[in-house]
A and B are shown apart, each in its own frame.
Chain A
């Protein structure tokens, strides 16, 4: 089945620093999604990408759909304490509604 490798597994950064995380897939995806999950909450959709090469921003967040359709990255600029949480990538193949999720990147921001 499809597998997603998400890295890094965890990050400790200073407030104000930029952050980058990425996901790679063993197969081609048609959609890439990035979610953030706070403790005790469900995942919240941050950015959705639908076309290869697409670069989309949401405030301080920027995500790209890799041109090979097998990878995506998420950047967070000028991190703040409320950025703390677990970030998940997810993707789906052609005509599929089933999302495959990465195992998450746990972000800690040191004030």
Chain B
């Protein structure tokens, strides 16, 4: 597709369960980002992938959060042992080589932890 796609669009889970969120970046974009948006708030940076370089994980809130990017394209964000405070919209973005600041976002995954 032409834009960033994310799946699932909505996810309801029980506290303590693990969840996996998927992101397909725009074709040809080398950089991929994950953000978290809590209700009524701005976006909080989580993690950044650029090509084959080691990812910048500085925004991950705890060691329950991890992400990987396979083949320089699709990325998966995993949250282990989910807590209620993990409920948020998880947004993925991608950008072109040489224009890392200009990020294009997907529609997000709305996660609700009961």
Q: How many A-B residue pairs have CB under 8 A?
A: 57
Q: Which residue of B lies closest to A95 (CB)?
A: B100
Known: A88-B43, A104-B42. A97 touches B106 (CB 8 A): no
Stretch of A14-22, A42-50, A57-65, A67-75 that contacts chain B = A42-50
Partner of B101, one of A31, A41, A103: A31
Q: How far is the CA of A48 from the CA of B93 in the complex (A)?
A: 15
The number of residues on chain A lying at the interface, defined by a beta carbon within 8 Å of a beta carbon of chain B, is 23
Q: Is the CB of B107 within 8 A of A42?
A: yes
Q: Which residue of B lies closest to A42 (CB)?
A: B105
Asked if A33 is at the interface (CB within 8 A of a chain B CB), the reply is yes
Q: Is the CB of B105 within 8 A of A99?
A: no
Across-interface contacts of B106 in A (CB, < 8 A)? 42
Q: In whole Å, how far is B36's beta carbon from the nearest beta carbon of chain A?
A: 11
Asked if A98 is at the interface (CB within 8 A of a chain B CB), the reply is yes
Q: Which residues on B are within 8 Å of A, measured CB to CB?
A: 4, 6, 31, 33, 40-43, 45, 48, 50, 56, 59, 91, 93, 95, 100-108, 110
